[in-house]
Amino acid sequence: MNSNAVMAAGAVCWRKIDGRIHVLVIHRDDRRDVSLPKGKVDPGESFPQTAVREIKEETGLTISLGIPLGATHYTLPNGRPKEVHYWAAHVSNKAIAKSTFRPNNEVAALEWLPIEKARRELHYDVDREVLDIFSSHVDQGVTETFAMILLRHAKAEDPAKFKGADQKRPLIGRGREQALDIAPSVAAFGPKKLISSVSVRCAETIAPLSELLGKNVLFVKEISQHAFVDDHPALRALIGKRIRKGKTSVLCSHGPVLPEILREIALATGTSLLTDHTRAALLDTASFSVFHLSAKHPSAGIVAVETHDSLV
């Protein structure tokens, strides 16, 4: 990453109109252009946070992120490099009804266009490149997705110095800061179910996310380090249920357990694990990986994976 680069994030927002996929473009009078919605990263923000915030600010739409669409790189007129990260984002009818958009000095109008027409209307090649990536997913039938998010607990007390049962080991000060920092990034993917190991360090890690989303946490021993056993039938049943539900879930667990959770996701979805998949399960503390699955055809396997770290 170039320290001089302008960092930004955005999304290809999409919905079906009369059975046909349309994408959202914005008209900016000050620049006299048509582009994809995006904006600069604020200090202390992650790319997923920025994408959700900027879409809200520019379009009035509340979104959750879907599959990643990569990043564009180009040079601004002032000579500084710019890097923009994108995701797909399905916009529900409910979100449309609740949109707070009003024409303003930055965005004069919003327009929903079929993909090919949007491609013609967009002013910039880099935007068309992102749209082409999204279009390829549409062609493959991978637009509606959900995710299994694996979250490793934040920094906890040193086990060699902690007096007491390992499952009672709490987070240290830095770990509590990490838990607060990572919550908005995980929330950007719109999780519907929060599941945690019963260990204190996991419970304390997922607590800020629970509070942010207003959702209760289901605590289970199956993903706890002290209780985990290879090929535990209860773990397989837990993962199978979450995938059948087809709703984005967070599983907060431990370093040694996360690869086994991934293995169960792979078994349940017919995925042949690749190096990128297995690497994504080897997480640092307060890091998480998002394994994206097709909502209509989860047996098609993992369609995309991304990993994010705490900035603390």
Q: Tell me the pLDDT tens digit for each residue of 53-103.
A: 999 999 999 999 999 999 999 999 899 999 999 999 999 999 999 999 999
Predicted pLDDT at 2 = 59
CATH class, range 6-139 = alpha beta
Give 232's pLDDT tier (boundaries 50, 70, 90). Answer: confident
Lowest mean pLDDT among 117-131, 177-191, 216-230: 216-230
Say yes or no: domain 145-308 is CATH 3.30.750.24.
Answer: no
Q: What is the mean pLDDT of residues 120-131?
A: 96
Q: In the chain, what percentage of residues exceed pLDDT 90? A: 88
Please determine whether the domains at 6-139 and 145-308 fall in the same fold group of CATH: no
Rounded to the nearest angstrom, the gap between the alpha carbon of residue 95 and the centroid of all alpha carbons in its chain is: 18
Which of these, 263, 254, 260, 261, lies nearest to 287 by C-alpha position?
254
The 3-state secondary structure of the chain, one letter per residue: CCCCCEEEEEEEEEEEECCEEEEEEEEECCCCEEECCEEECCCCCCHHHHHHHHHHHHHCCCCCCCCEEEEEEEECCCCCEEEEEEEEEECCHHHHHCCCCCCCCCCCEEEEEEHHHHHHHCCCHHHHHHHHHHHHHHHCCCCCEEEEEEEECCCECCCCCCCCCHHHCCECHHHHHHHHHHHHHHHCCCCCEEEEECCHHHHHHHHHHHHHHCCCEEEEHHHCCCCCCCCCHHHHHHHHHHHHHCCCEEEEECCCCHHHHHHHHHHHHCCCCCHHHHHHCCCCCCCEEEEEEECCCHHHCEEEEEEECCCC
Q: Which amino acid is at 33?
A: D
CA distances from 127 to 22, 107, 120 (A): 15, 17, 11
Boundaries of every domain in the chain: 6-139, 145-308
pLDDT digits (tens, 9 = 90+) for 129-173: 999 999 999 999 888 999 999 999 999 999 999 999 989 999 999
